[in-house]
Structure 1
Amino acid sequence: MNINASSAILLNTTSLHATTIIATIRTFFAAPPQLSAFNAFIISTFLFLFAVLKSQQSSLIGPKQLGRLPPGPVAWPVLGNLPEMLSSKPVFRWIHGLMEEMGTEIACVRLGSTHVVSVSSPKIAAEILKKQDAVFASRPESMAARTFSGGYKSAALVPHGDQWKKMRRVLTSEIICPARHKWLHEKRVEEADNLVRYVFAQCGASRDVDIRTAARHYSGNVIRKLMFGKRNFGQGMPDGGPGIEEEEHVEAVFNALVYLYAFCVSDYFPCLEGLDLDGHERIVKEASETMKKYHDPIVEQRIREWRNSGDNANKEPQDLLDVLISLKDSNGQPLLATDEIKAQTTEIMIAAIDNPSNVAEWTMAEMINQPELLRKAVEELDRVVGKERLVQESDIPHLNYIKACAREAFRLHPIAPFNVPHVAMSDTTVAGYFIPKGSHVLVSRLGLGRNPKVWDDPHRFNPERHLGDVITNVVLTEPDLRFISFSTGRRGCIAASLGTAMTVMLLARLIQGFSWEQPQGSPGIDLSESEHDLFLARPLTVRAEPRLPLHLYTSF
């Protein structure tokens, strides 16, 4: 098909009657009935021009070169599968439903001109993240990623290029290295102790403990302490719990996580950015401004202390922010600009809180519902650690059952349905299917961990499956990609050691320090997933009672 023929078809398709356009926009974007014909004309014109441009690009590739795309639904002209996406929320359930209906472990939907490929097979995932890692080493541009990365100034959210390479080197050599992990050990211990103090205080009040609050704020406390050298932005609470500032901060971080790659309309039709048709832009802006409100004054003050004083030659960094500020280039000048420091600070915050807190909440819910699992975990802690001291990071290698429980939560209850998207930097073939350059590739955490071809009885929480006949050192990473805890490859997670320490210490301190039971009169813990995401539908609130000598709770 030549360019003129393609354009003619698109012209006929997009030159719809104004009332049809208005009805479509009302349906998909919940636009008010007062939407004017002029606005409809502007939007349709943008879509038409965008489509013509893309048709001219795609017409340069003949059908023989294209090959066979992965299976997927028939796409509308110009819009692709955008109508189905907008009418099938949440989108991740729609995509997984399509894959199940088609009986495939690789599928492709087209959103605008972008091919979005989802994968639920460990073998295919390994082909993408290992064998062809270099091809898929970029990230998609998106409204939320650009906002939270300060205009692509950080590492994890940045498309492939020099900025990514620079920030990746900074992280691997200066921030997430073994020496730095050891250096920050005492700060992590302080927050594990504070967790015990906080839960103990809840026991003295009503015995009802909100595990979600405890877990999320332990995780937030740890990364704030590592990053800024302090737990609280404000005064905090006398019992060690979060103050108003910390609650607002953690809520902003989780909003950022939810909307980071949330199938925003303007990510596939950039000409629509600013109209905020699906409401994502407002939420992203508010989350970003909240984090900046707390981060930026600290960053700016610390930069002034380091760079405007003449007596810093022998000054030693005290936390990760000091490290970022004190880095020098080959000419002795600051390696990182202020906006790079701010962007990387935000990214570290976003990356550190979600996994440990989600694993802890789901694991505790599953174990309280199956008391024999909780009993085995308690027995392991009593055997390895005893009751005369609190569990420490040095005990982690010997806590195989606790780690098996965490692995099972990563498998069955991932924090997100998909891994952070990868972008194909060139045309390639995966599992025999053609993947065009620019395609967004989503490895499904949900599909891998619940794949019936990989796991027996995949919907059952069973930590024993990770132990095997011969007990070796259980780890939270999964190199065979049968599930994803910390991703692999060039764009994989480089903080597996920190993530492991936070996750296992959070779980172990909760289980060692307290006896847990269902709320009085409850028939059991409701393990339903939220309609909109993969969290528990309702925050886990259960009864706790101290089980160790009193002095272990009062000595902090």
Structure 2
Amino acid sequence: MEYTVRFFQLSQLFHFLKNSLHYLFLPMIPILSLMIIKKIVCINSRKLNLPPGPKPWPIIGNLPEILANKPVSKWIYKIMEELNTEIACIRLGNVHVIPITSPDLASEILKKHDATFASRPITMSTDIISEGYVTSIVVPFGEQWKKMRKIIASELFSPLRHQFLQDKRNEEADNLMCYVYNNADLVNVRVASRHYCGNVYRKYFFSRRYFGKGVEDGGPGVEEIEHVDAVFVLLKHLYAFSVSDYVPWLRVVDWDGHKREVKKGMGIMKKYHDSIVEERFNEWNDGSKTVEEDRLDVMISLKDVNDNPLLTLKEVKAQVTELILAVVDNPSNIVEWTLAEMINRPELIQKATKELDEIVGKNRLVQEYDIPKLNFVKACARESLRLHPTMAFNVPHVSMNDTVVGSYFIPKGSHVIIGRDGLGRNPQVWKEPYEYKPERHLKNDGSDVTLTEPNLKYLSFGAGRRSCPGVMLGTTMTVMQLARLLHGFTWSAPADTSGINLVEAEDDMFLAEPLLAVAKPRLALSLYNFL
């Protein structure tokens, strides 16, 4: 009897469940369907191939290859050439590094999938330089980046601020001519141009040209040389394929010595910056300073909604250092390469000076309001940006999700690097890509030539969320110093040479040797008297 009752109970329970399943699971059908579809899409995505690349070793990937091939950038381009591809995949540890040299693929990354590739990698050098990621340029995507990006775009590099600081830029354009005039017999153009950029930066943030006593000829003192040299040391190691970035536990032993060099460079920057920033903070806090004179004042005086300082002392110090890294290298490299190319082809100098004489005349110096009309001068700068970029690759973009680019699967966490010289020297895009031809950038209708390249046929100021907010400043600094040098002086190679040796350095993309040239004043002497 007992078994009969239990059997009846179980039968009733089964019947109840059978009739209830429809009602229990009906609301879950859409959710289950979405889960199944997502799983299918994920599986299909993973069936897509990674971009072609060298076969990786187990666990360590292609780390042995980057240790054996220096500079790594040239090895990457060689691999891509051998594979006949404009997108590749190189696995370093557990990180997929994706180099790209196609404008179409670059546009997919920086425009179509901009939101996906809006982050930055965590590296030894960026951690140290950004003081633990409190800045903007090298900081991974997140609230700190959003905060700092907004401040830089709206408060530091706005058109209003650009106009406000024009007098400081003019002073350094005059000082550049002073230095060249005083050293006309043999000008080190690299020194002149790099320190013009450094001077503009120091005026922008510190309202001073010199950290020390200064030099009578207008050139850099010992302190300024040390300061700018440290900038280029940091730039060299910023994203230098350090092994410790892909095998983090190696940071303890500093396998390739990068950490030592970065800390040394940062020590020099702090030596010159920190005391100035701290003193200025105190002046604003005690009320002895109330008027904004430069961008350091702007950063310190910013307030949040509760009228508290928007930026901490640490954030200001770190952001000041990061911004100088973004200011100095490109304009100075462009000017040096442009003059070197033009000295070897005097007809280009003649064409540029003819344009300058027609627009500016010989009774005054070039001013910023002349820049929109100097199309050939800007075309020369554009051609140098295309053919002679400062670095082989741009700042890496990190994929925040699995993505498909150009029919290839890009896993989440991949480091995508856009090839600067790979784009600018791409034979599928540029006719005679290794020839210096400024005329290719002139427009048939005579309209304004700019240094930006929206179609990413070469990389100038980037694109998308992580593009450079200092386009106006970068353009002005580049064109202004180039125009002043071409307008004010006639340039030639030193007498004991047959021309300028246009050879890249082995480990970077600068001229192998600093450009030394003779500068003969070509304007009325009265225009140089005030210098």
TM-score (norm 1): 0.87
Which of residues 45, 53, 56 is equivalent to 1:72? 53
Give how far 1:451 is off: 0.2
What is the match of residue 481 of structure 1? 456
Which runs of structure 2 are paired with 1:47-86 in the superposition (5 Å)?
A: 65=46, 67-86=48-67
Work out whether residues 45 and 409 of structure 2, in 8 Å CA contact, stay in contact via their aligned partners in 1: no
Question: Which residue pairs with 1:425 in the alignment?
Answer: 400
What SS class does the counterpart of residue 133 from structure 1 fall into? coil
Distance in 2, matches of 1:362 and 1:476, equals: 15
The alignment status of 1:270 with 2:248, answered yes or no, reads: yes
Give yes or no for the alignment of 1:554 onto 2:521: no
Shift of 1:316: 1.6
Aligned 1:382-461 pairs, distance under 5 A: 382-461=357-436
List alignment gaps of at least 5 residues for structure 1: 1-60
Give, as a single letter, the amino acid of the residue that structure 1 aligns with 2:212: G
Which residue of 2 is the match for residue 197 of structure 1?
A: 178
In structure 2, the residue matched to 1:3 is none
Work out the CA distance in 1 between the residues paired with 2:168 and 2:380.
Answer: 25
Per the alignment, residue 137 of structure 2 pairs with 156
Letter paired with 2:474? G
Spell out the pairing of 1:528-543 with structure 2 (5 A cutoff): 528-543=503-518
Match of 1:226 in 2: 204
Using structure 2 for the length normalisation, give the TM-score: 0.91
Decide which of 296, 299, 303 is 2:274's aligned counterpart.
296
Structure 1 letter corresponding to 2:245: D
- How far 1:62 moved relative to its partner? 6.9
1:352 corresponds to: 327
Partner Cα separation in structure 2 for residue 243 and residue 336 of structure 1: 32
Q: Which residue of 1 aligns with 2:118?
A: 137
- Equivalent residue letter for 1:396: I
Q: CA deviation at 1:63?
A: 8.9
Output the CA distance in 2 between the equivalents of 1:471 and 1:329: 47
Structure 1 distance, partners of 2:47, 2:147, is: 35
Q: Give distance in 2, aligned partners of 1:381 and 1:149.
A: 41
Match of 1:518?
A: 493
1:82-128 alpha-carbon deviations (Å, 9 max, x no partner): 00111000000000000111100000100000000000000000000
Q: 1:380 aligns with which of 355, 370, 382?
A: 355
Among 146, 150, 155, the residue aligned to 1:165 = 146
RMSD, aligned α-carbons: 1.0
Change (3 A) 1:64 1:391: closer
Structure 1 residue matching 2:465: 3-state secondary structure: coil
In structure 2, how many angstroms separate the alpha carbons of the residues matched to 1:358 and 1:432?
36
Task: Tell me the CA shift for residue 550 of structure 1.
Answer: 1.4
Question: 1: CA distance between counterparts of 2:239 and 2:222?
Answer: 28
Q: Which amino acid aligns with 2:257?
A: G
Q: Can you list the C-alpha shifts for 1:444-488, whole angstroms capped at 9, x where unaligned?
A: 001000000000000000000000322110000000000011111
Deviation at 1:66, TM superposition (A): 5.3
Give the counterpart letter for 1:221 in structure 2.
N
**How many Å apart are 1:524 and its aligned residue?**
1.4
Name the SS for the 1:378 alignment partner.
Answer: helix
Instruction: Measure the CA separation in 1 of the matches of 2:248 and 2:236.
Output: 20
1:183 is aligned to 164
5 Å matches for 1:91-110? 91-110=72-91
Q: Secondary structure at the match of 1:483?
A: coil
Mapping for residues 245-394 of structure 1, pairs under 5 Å: 245-309=223-287, 315-394=290-369
Q: SS at the partner of 2:191?
A: helix
Match of 2:97 in 1: 116
The answer as to whether partners of 1:254 and 1:354 remain within 8 angstroms in 2 is yes
- Could you tell me how far 1:308 is from its partner in structure 2? 2.5
Q: How far does residue 227 in structure 1 lie from its aligned partner after superposition?
A: 1.1
Partners of 1:128 and 1:489 in 2: CA distance: 9
> 1:410-452, CA deviations, whole angstroms, 9 ceiling, x for partnerless residues?
0000000001000000000000000000000000001000000
Question: CA 1:274–1:62 in 2, change beyond 3 Å: closer, same or farther?
Answer: farther
For the residues of structure 2 that align with 1:456 and 1:233, how far apart are their CA atoms?
A: 47
Q: How many residues align?
A: 490
Distance 1:520 1:236 in 2: 31
- Code of the residue aligned with 1:246 in structure 2: it is E
* Aligned-partner SS, 2:214: coil
Deviations 1:22-65 (A, max 9, x none): xxxxxxxxxxxxxxxxxxxxxxxxxxxxxxxxxxxxxxx97973
Q: Distance in 2 between matches of 1:354 and 1:526?
A: 21
1:194 counterpart letter in structure 2 = N
Q: Could you tell me how far apart the structure 2 residues matched to 1:349 and 1:65 are? A: 42
2-side partners of 1:82 and 1:347: how far apart?
A: 29
Q: Structure 1 residue runs of 4+, over 2 Å off?
A: 61-67
Assess if the C-alpha contact under 8 Å between 1:411 and 1:483 holds in 2.
Answer: yes
Counterpart-to-counterpart distance in 2, 1:391 and 1:66: 59
Separation in 2, partners of 1:120, 1:539? 28
Aligned residues of 1:66 and 1:436 also touching (Cα < 8 A): no
- Comparing 541-550 with 112-121, greater Cα deviation is found at 541-550
Q: In structure 2, how many angstroms separate the alpha carbons of the residues matched to 1:64 and 1:335?
A: 43
Contact 1:197–1:554 (CA<8 Å) still a contact in 2?
no
Tell me, yes or no, if the aligned pair for 2:46 and 2:409 is still in contact at 8 Å: no
Listed one character per residue, the Cα deviations across residues 188-225 of structure 1 (whole Å, up to 9, x for unaligned) are: 0000000000100002xxx0101000000001101110
Task: State the shift of 1:345 in Å.
Answer: 0.3
State the distance in 2 between where 1:550 and 1:297 align: 42
> Is the CA contact 2:403–2:411 (under 8 Å) kept in the aligned structure 1?
yes
SS at match of 2:183: helix
Name which of 187, 195, 199 aligns with 1:217: 195
